[in-house]
Amino acid sequence: MVNYPRRKYLFEAYCDDHEAWPELYPEVTGPYFNKIWREEFQDVRLRKHCRFTKCPFCVKHRAEMTNTSLSTATRTEAKRKLKLHLAWAHKRERGCYMDKVAQAHLEPEKYISLAMDGTDKFPNGFPHFFEITKSTDGKRLKVHVYIVIVHGSERPYVYLGFENLKSDPNLVCECLNRTLQAEEKLRGKLPPTLYLQTDNCIRENKNTYTEKFLEWLVERGVVKAIYTSFLPLGHTHFDCDQLASCISEAIKNTDITSIDQLTKLIQKCFTPNPHVVFLDGVMDWRKLINPENNPNFPVGTAMCRPARGLCTKLLPTVKKRRDYMTEQSDLHWRILADNHGHPFLQTKYCVDDECWSEAVRHWDTKAPRPENRACDTNASGLLPTDLTWAPRKPLDETRLAELRLTIPLCEDRTSMSASDYAAFMSVLDELANPTDQDDLVLPEHRWSFMCESKEERPPVSNGMVDALRMPSRNIVRNLNIQNANRADRRMGIDNDILAKGLFLAVHPNYTADYDEEKKQEFWLAKIDNIHQEEKMVDIRYWHTAKKNNASYDKCMVTYRVYMGKGARTDLIPLSRIIIQIKELTAKKAVHINDRRRILNAFAAAEAEAAAVAAVAAASTDTEDAESVEDE
């Protein structure tokens, strides 16, 4: 299905492609284009109706194009503006987003890309029945479904929660924090750059609270830089909507009467299987930085100033200069830290802008910090341990009366068991009499990350920590490498100790039926994590199409992160490691000195094997001679 409402619009797009790539797209007439479509591409169809909300700019100018009562000049001008608008929204803005996704796939050690969006897939509430009766036709429990897709990760994340949790920045920050914690545990450490893609919702995403939480992550050193982007109004549908559509199709014709049933259904509706988490509570980030909940953020009580202009419409001067854009706020944020570690915000309206705005610092209020701790100007002065659980959203009596009427009617449905009904009645009691947040048990991590651990660990070179070392090998090196290693040892650097983020040349692990001509002499991998007690190493494979990749007299052998079929990561013993490599070249190739070390390792291994074989053969001959003498 193509995203065009009429055939002539698709034919016009084909003509544009012909002008750009005449050798690839031959010139054809409209009737011939339709004939080939009917005969050869019967599976390609136009969308009859798009259920998503429309872009007002597109709707207005598309109507002008088809209005025959207008002049030809007006209709031509509307067509020109619409063409510019679509090229901006779908090629440049969405293309910028896809470039970030590609970077996260190709270089996961440098970039992590997240797409976040909330959805509502239960129009009549929960429990869900695909056949509606008069008795159960009512608004039951509302369920938040929040989706986070990590590009290049093993699986997406889906967060669920009942309506006692507010759909506000606290929910967004909680989902973002949990996702980053899970990725840090999975990868060993987070990449320095975070790409974040969300929609233009002011209530959840484009506001001071969410922006300040991102600044707080940079200040704490969780990541070094954050780039947040928002697709243009009416063109915000992206990866998360695809997963949301799969969830909608899965639950459409199914009775769902428990959270466990919903969790299993979501895990099966998408590949790779989503990681589903039910939220019992969210952090109270809003109260921490704005205790009085005053929208003006008074400098005497709020930790920061409000971020003005994040949600205001486009200035008339900018709109006049660019007639293909809609009236909306800046689409791109950049959050970095200065030399003192203090975060600052820069924005730009669209991807076409070459320069970012002036740096803005909002952590400059005189409000006392928690426990009256001192803090520098332009620093938040906040710690993860300052966070507490957010209070449950109080339901008014009208809503509680509606729930008390609709939930008991579900007991008569045959698909609902007695245990499921009792669970929903307990949820109803919690909504009527919510537990005080002070009585809830705080999470063990207290919303902090592993990189923020303050435990002082002795250096691995002083013998107090049993660090994993490279297997001892008698490898002959040249004089330059020997001198460099001596200099490193004088500085306390031990190149034989395994470290996260460095590369490894490892022995291949081919199957018995693999073609001998296609085999490589070694595989390249990057260390993701180190298990000292088990003496095992988590690695992520890198790939090259070149054969004889250890031979330094061949052409340059470049590598990239392996994204093909089969295992992309592995847990290997130390015996599979050949050498450790500090870094690749600028062109992502193994340096010639490291390739020489690999060749020397192979030569040493062959010499050792030959020596062992000679010793074994000599011992065999001796035993045979002794047996002959005995006879």
Q: How confident is the model at residue 145 (pLDDT cuts 50, 70, 90)?
A: very high
Mean pLDDT of 173-191: 93
pLDDT of 28 over the 50 cut: yes
Higher pLDDT residue, 130 or 353? 353
Least confident of 44-53, 326-335, 593-602: 44-53
Q: How distant, in Å, are the alpha carbons of 169, 315, 361 from that of 215?
A: 14, 26, 10
Mean pLDDT of 484-502: 62
Superfamily of domain 111-439: Ribonuclease H-like superfamily/Ribonuclease H (3.30.420.10)
Q: How confident is the model at residue 252 (pLDDT cuts 50, 70, 90)?
A: confident
Mean pLDDT, the chain, rounded, equals 83
Short-list 178, 174, 150, CA closest to 243? 150
Residue spans in the chain of domains classed CATH 2.30.30: 467-596
Mean pLDDT of 101-107: 92
pLDDT of 521 over the 80 cut: yes
H or E element in which residue 524 lies: strand 523-531
For the chain, the helix, strand and coil percentages under 3-state DSSP, each to the nearest 5? 40, 15, 45
pLDDT of 157 over the 90 cut: yes
Short-list 500, 496, 543, CA closest to 522? 543
As a whole number of angstroms, the longest Cα–Cα distance in the chain is: 118
Residue spans in the chain of domains classed CATH 3.30.420.10: 111-439
Short-list 336, 338, 335, 333, CA closest to 377? 338
Short-list 527, 558, 565, 521, CA closest to 543? 558
Q: What pLDDT does 218 receive? A: 96
pLDDT of 535 over the 90 cut: no
| Rounded distance between C-alpha atoms, residue 474 and residue 309, angstroms | 64
**Model pLDDT for residues 423-475, shown as the tens digit of each residue:** 888 888 888 888 887 778 888 888 999 888 644 333 333 333 345 666 554 45
Mean pLDDT of 558-578: 83
Least confident of 167-176, 184-193, 469-478: 469-478
Q: What pLDDT does 470 receive? A: 63
Do the beta carbons of residue 322 and residue 209 sit within 8 Å?
A: no
Q: What pLDDT does 554 receive? A: 55
Please count the residues of the chain: 631
Q: What pLDDT does 197 receive? A: 95
Both structure tokens of 313: 């419409």
pLDDT of 314 over the 60 cut: no
Tell whether omega for the bond before 434 is within 30 degrees of 0, i.e. cis: no
Q: Which letter does DSSP use for residue 355 in this model?
A: S
Phi, psi of 497 (to 5 degrees): -90, 125
Least confident of 71-75, 228-232, 625-629: 625-629
Which CATH entry fits the domain spanning 467-596: 3.40.1350, 1.50.10, 3.30.360, 2.30.30? 2.30.30
Mean pLDDT of 288-297: 93
| Rounded distance between C-alpha atoms, residue 278 and residue 157, angstroms | 11
Cβ neighbour number for residue 427 with a 10 Å cutoff: 18
**Model pLDDT for residues 363-390, shown as the tens digit of each residue:** 999 899 998 888 888 999 999 999 999 9
Q: What pLDDT does 518 receive? A: 81
Kindly report the CA angle at 320 between 314 and 325, in degrees rounded to 5? 55
Q: Which residues pair with 346 in a beta bridge?
A: 334
Least confident of 43-47, 280-284, 378-382, 539-543: 43-47
Contacts of 249 (CB under 8 A, 6+ apart): 269
- Encode 10-43 in three state secondary structure: HHHHHHHHHHHCCCCCCCCCHHHHHHHHHHHCCC
- What's the distance, Cα to Cα, between the start and end of the chain in Å? 88
Q: What pLDDT does 292 receive? A: 92
Least confident of 6-10, 481-485, 515-519: 481-485
pLDDT of 8 over the 60 cut: yes
Least confident of 13-17, 32-36, 47-51, 620-624: 47-51
Question: Number of H helices and number of E strands within the chain?
Answer: 15, 14
| Rounded distance between C-alpha atoms, residue 173 and residue 209, angstroms | 9
Q: What pLDDT does 317 receive? A: 57
Q: What is the dihedral of CA 118, 121, 125, 128, to 10 degrees?
A: -140
Least confident of 10-24, 119-133, 236-250: 119-133
Mean pLDDT of 151-158: 87
The listed range with the strongest mean pLDDT (234-243, 293-302, 407-416, 597-606) is: 293-302
Short-list 148, 114, 177, 176, CA closest to 448? 177
Kindly report the CA angle at 336 between 333 and 339, in degrees rounded to 5? 155
Least confident of 47-51, 114-118, 177-181, 425-429: 47-51
